[in-house]
Structure formats: structure tokens, C-alpha cells
Chains A and B, each alone.
Chain A
């Protein structure tokens, strides 16, 4: 999933980051872990990152861990006018 020069695109990075977060919460009980992922992304991702995240999630969430996809339900969708 990398470019020729070994770098990820912004979207690839977002998936990668979301999966990293999910991996940390893997050691928690399922419900708590999913809630943890959503809370983390809500707290730290700016609206345009979440917007790109949802574009990918809505297109099937290719490459996302199942818990990330599940967490998508409780991640806040950015308002249209948000920065």
C-alpha cells in the first residue's frame, strides 16, 4: 500500500493511523475497545481528517480493521462548514 518511494498518501496514512489506534485497544474488552477508538479519533482528528476517513469508510473501509469500521458508527461526522 505504499508509493514507489515508500511513502504513504494522506489517505493511506489515515487508515494506517486508525489501525494503529485500534491495535492498542485490541487488548481491551471488545465494547470498550471500540468506544476507545472512536473517542480517540473524535478527540484528536481535525474535521478534514475525519471527512477523508468517512469518504473511505463509506466506500467500504478498504484496509481498515473491523474494529475501526465498527467504531465508525460513533465517530463524529464533521459538519459541512467545519474547517
Chain B
């Protein structure tokens, strides 16, 4: 195996189309105009010594090690900052260059500790490499004079010396090893866009500093790891490398956290994971990462992970550890009994957006082929189901239209109800980079998110609307575009249905949709709406990125339609730089939807009522599939409470914590007779489970994830499953126990079946993924290389369809009892319900959920920052601590839902999107009042949770 080595070309690639030919050390080389001499040489296989250059950041030219001589030019220019020119003749190794380089290295080494043997970077240090490369043999200067290396000089305090900063849980900063190359500073600025680091002081006194003399943990640093990657020495080093040592082999795989789907090299020593390093060839992340994928994998080996199957008859019993055979047989018997007793439709299952495509496919197959019904749903129900409906209706497919690279050509980005800096950090970094290069930004969000204003980023317009008024605001933007004649008539005539467009303009031109009218309900100044609409319509390539702030509303699907209308009106569809891009939450939300996780759809979004589609599966699987749609998650819970739904197989989801109206969810679960939970940990849902099947992590299995840009990325197994089986194998055991003839030996065989039965996946195979690295569906005869951008020559449905979007206020209204509007969201360091991230050092950044409240509302209630408050809605109440901030507007409060102790979903109600039942998370009328501790519900809940987590034979509960 060995390590996957990536070439460092020293400076970023030039995008120029014009080619230039030059000679380097006698070799002719042709490169794009604007390429540095350093990179051109590397292209020719000649590695010029360097320290301050690396291809993830722009050249800076400070170390003077990369000097070259150019015929006909004086001096010794640095190759990293000098661009190539036609006919240039470069020499990289001459007597003069050798002397200068040795001198430079001698100076560096004279102020560097010589503890190479015990240094964590031993074997992976560029300073060491360069000393070798330039042939440094002796160092004439000692540490006698000024140095940064020793704490004391001859017994006296050395004020130039700085202690190690170990505050960040994942990496250390050891200033004594710093060569002040500023690669870290540039990485933080250019790649991450956080600007947390600076070089303080001048000349010999200069040092790297997070913020103004802060510790890393206290600074703006978001722990993305870019600086650690950029650092050529051991100054910034992963703690895991310090502890374990250098890796010996690596495997390319995909992050299992969010929908960006970053590619990583899992660097290993035996079966021990040493570190995750973002992979430069990863097409979603281009070598960047965030704190979750880069560092937060410790949950995989967390002591609370359950490794043995367990069963119990009643949820009040302690768990009993059993063999896999017993657990599988028990489940099989129970499901058979339930179906016999209550009917075929009394059982169902939930697929996981955290699991692979192959695993999801098998779960829905088990339900359709084994249970013989369509009662399958997935957590996308609670996040992006309105995207499926809205884009499906208007464009003919739920697919996001672009790849992430597209953002590099965007001129105006319109972000609606999403906070990529928290939820899709690597995409946010790429977007910020584009904005720093001049693109404009419009943000529609009730909250002043990091995107609205952060280092070197400032949104042109922030539409801080009242939660629940998305449709009105989006429609008002369309009103401006239509009434001011800013629409793209040529595009509409060619690509869209003209009569539907006529109908739509009639609708949207009505004065009730004017910004002046909409201002009254949304609270957004009319001029701001007008400004935003004009900018989006006329500012060049306009791209819309939206998130759960759009979908999780009772009019979620309508807003998605409104967004689709905006893009069609302005012709912002079908080329790079534009489009409609749903930012999907979990790593494989896209994939789980593609794989037929919805109760009305077979894989590839084909409705179950279609005879031709069912025939494909009927003949392959040897059963007659049910032609009736099945139950969606909320409907399953309703049916459970009504007594007609009794058994559920849940793979890798925690619906008790993630779904709205916790009390209703727990009532539904409690009414079931067999709840099977397959997961890594005893999650909240498992409190109501009768069977627990231990799950495996993404490090322990082969498969694929599909990210938000429809990119199918490989997940590769780097270690043996600690629980014994990968999740797909567990589902297969269950299927075999039910008498189904399944014999998959490897997930690639599952993908082959998917390709055979799903037209948009027809040419996807592990072989192709091996060759191409990744591929974006549709991938079939028409697009063998995949489809980075959709709707290029026309919409999937034929003509784009404009649909009226009437604003209807939600029934969730504020009043005297509940005068504030609660909206919910996520933060960077935690992920979804936090089951994984809470079991990593990421808790350093987010120990608890906080309630953000405007100073005005806080003062009215006598609340101060940090106070315990009671948060109450008509559904329930909970307590948490307040954070007083003007990030939220008066009348609006905001919290996250990462911690089970908070149970923010006790508060959320059962209102949902009209088309898809996606819950209305983003608007709940609440009251906030002072409190002195956890609510009765929280106490009861905790007690119940503790009781139900007991395992017979174990002294303590598992959590």
C-alpha cells in the first residue's frame, strides 16, 4: 500500500488558456501563462528547493531558497514569485545558487532546535528535507546570541522564547520551531478565509500569533487544520501524530459528516488512524477541510460505542447482550408476528443519510421485497423533502443544478436560509474566496450569520426577514424583476413554457406582491428587497444556495418553487456560475433520496405506481411490489399512536432527537411492539428500542456517499469493523433470516444492481469510480463522464415550468402567550444531533445549546447573558442558557439542537410543509422566562433515558 503521495507544485495552477514554452535546465516545458517558474520546473520534474511556497497558497517570496538564474537577466530571482515568459532559459542549480541556498539554510538552522530524532515531524519535515537538498553540512553560528529556541540563555530568561500553545484539542503550536514562512497565515486567509493568524513584530522578532496574542482556542480560529497542513515544520502539528508517530500507509475516503463530501486521505499506522488529511484531488473540497472531517473522528473508538447486539422484551427491562444470530432471529420473529397479527402494513423502516448508498438501497429493498410494503422513509423528510417536490415540479428533477467548482464563476451569490460557514464550512471557504475576489453576496436570513459579515466579507444586502415569510420575500423579488423588466426574455422564450410564464407574470405583478406590501409582513425594508432583486437579476452570473431555512417551513415547497422561478426568470440556469443549489445537511442525504428512501418512490425518483418501473424490480427480486405509497415518518408515528403501525427498523437515525415534537415521537415509539435500532451508540431513540444492532463507522466499510453536488464519492474501509459487521452486512443477515435470497459479497455488487435498475446510474460502477475518482449522476450512455451541470440544453422536464407562489402565513402565530418566534440552526463544530461530535474533543467549542435573544427582549424579561431560561411553546418546554446578542432581531430567538439535554424539539410543533410533511422547525411561537434549572420534563426524560440504557451485567449504564 504505502502513503498516497501528492506533488507540491509550490504555487497554485494558472487558469490561463494561453500556453508558454520555456527551458528549465535544458528541458523544454510548456505551461499556461502566469505559471511560476517553480511550478513549471516541477511540471518538468525538477524540484527547486523551497520553504515559504506551497501550492495551496499564493507565493510570498520570503525565504530566498528557491532562487534561480535566468539567461539574459541580472540577479537571482525567486522562482516562486517569477512568472514564466516565452523562450525563457532557466538554470536551477549553479555555483552561485548553491552558495546562497546553503547560507540561507545555515541561518534557519542556527535558530532551530536540533532535536530531529524525537521531533513529531521527523520524516515529514520540509526544513529537514531542504537541509538535505542543499547539502548543508555544518552550521557556523550557535544559539549563543539571540534565539527563539531555548527558554533560558545562560540561566537568564529568554524573552524571545515562547511556550507551546496546546489549547486546541487537536493540534499544538510550538513557536520555538517556527521559521516564520507565513504559510499558515496565508492558508488561514486564502484557503479558509478566517484571518485568525497574523505575523507579529518585524525581522528577527517576528512570530506567528493567533489573534492578538491569544491562545488558539480563544482566538477566531475554527480549527479547520489548513495551517497545520501548510506548515513545513513541526510548529503546527496534529496531536495524534505527536502521540502515535508518522503514518505508513494511507487510503483515500470521504468524510461522513456533511453534504460537502470532502475527500480525505486516512493516514494509518496498521489499523490505527493517525490523521485525516484533505486530499487535493478531492473535487468537492480541493484539498480543504473543516474541523469535523479533519479531526472529529474520535467517536469511532469512543468507549460508549456499543459492540454487541442486545435485545429486551420491554423497554423498561435492562438490555441483554446476545449473539448476532439471536438478535437477528428475534427481530425476524417479531416482525413476522406483527405482520401476521396486524397486517402487512404494520411495519416499516427508516434509512440513514449517514450510511452509504449501498446500505440505504438494501434497507429500502428489505422493506419493499421483504416487508412487502412501501413504509420506508429517511431523515431527508425533515430537511430537504421540499426540494424534491419544488425542483421536481418546476425543472423535472430534484437535483441541485451545479457542482461546487461552479462557485468560482459566480458573480452574485444569493444565500437563503443557510449558514454555510457553520453547516457547509468547506463550501463556505470556497464561496468566501470568490467574494474576496469581487463577487457580490445577498443573504436572506432572520439572523445575522457569519456570511452577512465576517473578516473581509460583507453582504451587499441582508434581508433579515421575520421567520416564516420566505415565500413573500422571494415572490417580491420576482415582482421587482418582472415589473422593472429585468427578466431574461430570450431565455424564457427558449427554455420555459411561455403560457405558464404569462400566467405567472400576471400573478406576480399584482401590487400585493410588491416590496412595499411585503415589507409590512416580512419586516424587510422595500428598498432592500428591490436592491437585492436588481443585483441578482443584473449582476452577472447569479447562483442561489439555500438550506433548511427554506425547506423547514409549512410553505417550504412553495419557497423552493419561488427560488426555481427566480432562476428561470433571470436565465440563471444551465451553465457554470449560476443555478439553484440546495445545501444538503448530512453526508448522504442526496444519496439516501436517490436510493429510493421515500415511501412513494423507487430508486431514481420513480413513483411506485408506475407499472413499468415496478416490473423491473418484480422480475429481478421475484416478488410483486406494492403499488400504493407507504407511510412517511410523521404518518408512521401517527399510525403507531392509532395502533396500526407496530414495528420499525431504524438504521442510523435518531428520530427521537432529530424529529419535531419529541413528545409525539416518543408516544409513537412507545406504542410500537418492536423497535429495532441500528447505530453506533445507544442514541435517544434506542431508549424505546427492543433490539439494538451495533452499527459500523465509515472507516470500517466500503461503499459510496453522494454529496450535495450529486457527486458519488468512494468510502473505503481502513479498519475491521469493531462490531463485527458493516451495516450492509447486518441488513443482509436480516434479509437472509427472512428467507430472502441475498448474497452480496461486496458493496460493489450492490452498486451493480443499482446501476442495472436505475437509468440515472446506468454507468456507475466501482471500476469507473476507481478510474475517475468520483462521478456526478446522471451517469449513463448520454453522459458517461457524469453531469457536473444540469439543464444545459434544456430542462429535464422539457420546458421549465413557472408556478404561482401565493404566500400563506403559517398557523404557528405569536400571541400574548407565545410572543416570540423561535428558529433553529446548527453550529460549525457539532453535527446534527451531535451523537458523534459530542463524543469528540469538539465539545471544546460547543458544550451546550444556547438560546440567542436580542438585548431588547432580554431586558424586558430581566435576563442577562448566561442566565438559565425557560423556553416554552404550545408543544412543550425546556430550559437552557441565554446568550444575549443582536445577531437576532427583536422578537426572534434562536437555538441549536445538538444536545439531548436541551431537547429543543420538545418545543417544536407538529406543523409541517403542505406538500411533503417536512416539519416546520424554523418557526415556533414561544415564550422565554427566567428559570433556575432543568424543567420537569428534562428531569423525567433523563431518568427514563438512564433507566433504559442499563445493560444487564454492566455496572453502569452505557452513557
Contact = CB atoms under 8 A, between A and B. Distances in A.
Interface of A: 5-8, 10, 13, 17, 20-21, 23-24, 26-28, 40, 42-49, 78, 82-83
Interface string B339-360: 0000111000000000000000
B639 A23 contact: no
Nearest to A51: B644
18 contacts: A5-B874, A6-B875, A6-B909, A7-B910, A13-B638, A13-B910, A17-B914, A17-B917, A23-B808, A24-B808, A24-B914, A27-B805, A43-B607, A43-B629, A46-B345, A46-B635, A49-B631, A83-B375
A7 B628 contact: no
Nearest to B561: A24
Interface residues of B, number: 42
B540 to A, nearest CB: 32
A24 to B, nearest CB: 5
B554 A20 contact: yes
B552 to A, nearest CB: 15
Contacts of B345: 46-48, 82-83
A9 B663 CA distance: 14
Contacts of A7: 661, 664, 875, 910
Interface string B770-796: 000000000000000000000000000
Contact of B629 (A5, A26, A44): A44
Interface of B: 343-345, 373-375, 507, 554, 557-558, 599-600, 607, 609, 626, 628-632, 635, 638-639, 641-642, 644, 661, 663-664, 804-806, 808, 874-875, 909-910, 912, 914-917
Contact of A83 (B344, B609, B632, B805): B344
Contacts of A26: 806
A26 B558 CA distance: 13
B641 A46 contact: no
Contacts of A10: 638-639, 641-642
A66 to B, nearest CB: 17
A5 B609 CA distance: 38
B373 A83 contact: yes
A24 B631 contact: no
A46 B374 CA distance: 9
Contacts of B917: 17
A42 B607 CA distance: 11
A43 B874 contact: no
A27 B504 CA distance: 10
Nearest to A43: B600
Contacts of A44: 600, 629, 632, 915-916
A40 B609 CA distance: 13
Given A17-B912, A21-B915, 16 more contacts: A6-B909, A7-B664, A8-B910, A10-B642, A17-B917, A24-B806, A27-B806, A43-B629, A46-B599, A46-B631, A47-B345, A49-B631, A78-B628, A83-B343, A83-B344, A83-B345
A21 B916 CA distance: 10
A82 B628 contact: yes
A20 B914 contact: yes
Pairs A-B, 9 closest by C-beta atoms: A83-B345, A20-B914, A6-B874, A27-B804, A10-B638, A27-B806, A83-B373, A46-B631, A83-B344
Contacts of B638: 10, 13
A51 B600 CA distance: 17
The residue in A8, A46, A48, A82 that gathers the most chain B C-beta atoms within 10 A of its C-beta is A46
A45 to B, nearest CB: 7
A10 B634 CA distance: 10
A27 B912 CA distance: 20
A3 B609 CA distance: 36
Nearest to A8: B910
A48 to B, nearest CB: 6
Nearest to B638: A10
Given A27-B507, A27-B804, A83-B373, A48 B644 contact: yes
B804 A46 contact: no
Contacts of B661: 7
A42 B628 CA distance: 9
A23 B914 contact: yes
A27 B914 CA distance: 14
Contacts of B805: 27
A10 to B, nearest CB: 4
B811 to A, nearest CB: 8
A74 B917 CA distance: 22
A46 B558 CA distance: 23
Contacts of B642: 10
A7 B638 CA distance: 11
Contacts of A13: 638, 910
Nearest to B642: A10
A48 B629 contact: no
A5 B912 CA distance: 18
A3 B102 CA distance: 83
Contacts of B558: 24
Contacts of A82: 345, 628
B664 A48 contact: no
Contacts of B874: 5-6
The residue in A23, A28, A48 that gathers the most chain B C-beta atoms within 10 A of its C-beta is A48
A46 B629 contact: yes
A5 B877 CA distance: 12
Given A7-B664, A20-B914, A24-B914, A83 B629 contact: no
Contacts of B373: 83
B225 to A, nearest CB: 43
A42 B165 CA distance: 62
Contacts of A24: 557-558, 806, 808, 914-915
A23 B631 CA distance: 23
Given A27-B806, A44-B600, A49-B635, A83 B915 contact: no
A82 B638 CA distance: 18
A78 B628 CA distance: 9
A24 B664 CA distance: 27
A11 to B, nearest CB: 9
Contacts of A21: 914-915
Contacts of A17: 912, 914, 917
A28 B639 CA distance: 32
B249 to A, nearest CB: 49
A47 B914 contact: no
A40 B389 CA distance: 11
A56 to B, nearest CB: 14
Contacts of A48: 345, 631, 639, 644
Nearest to A78: B628
Nearest to A24: B914
A20 B912 CA distance: 10
Contact of B628 (A6, A8, A47): A47
B111 to A, nearest CB: 69
Given A7-B664, A21-B915, A49-B635, A83 B910 contact: no
A40 B910 contact: no
A73 B642 CA distance: 26
Contacts of B557: 24
Nearest to B629: A46
Contacts of B343: 83
A20 B626 CA distance: 27
Nearest to A20: B914
B376 to A, nearest CB: 11
A28 B599 CA distance: 27
Contacts of A20: 554, 914
Contacts of B635: 46, 49
A48 B626 CA distance: 14
A26 B805 CA distance: 10
A48 B558 CA distance: 27
A83 B554 contact: no
The residue in A5, A44, A78 that gathers the most chain B C-beta atoms within 10 A of its C-beta is A44
A26 B804 CA distance: 10
A4 to B, nearest CB: 11
A44 B632 CA distance: 9
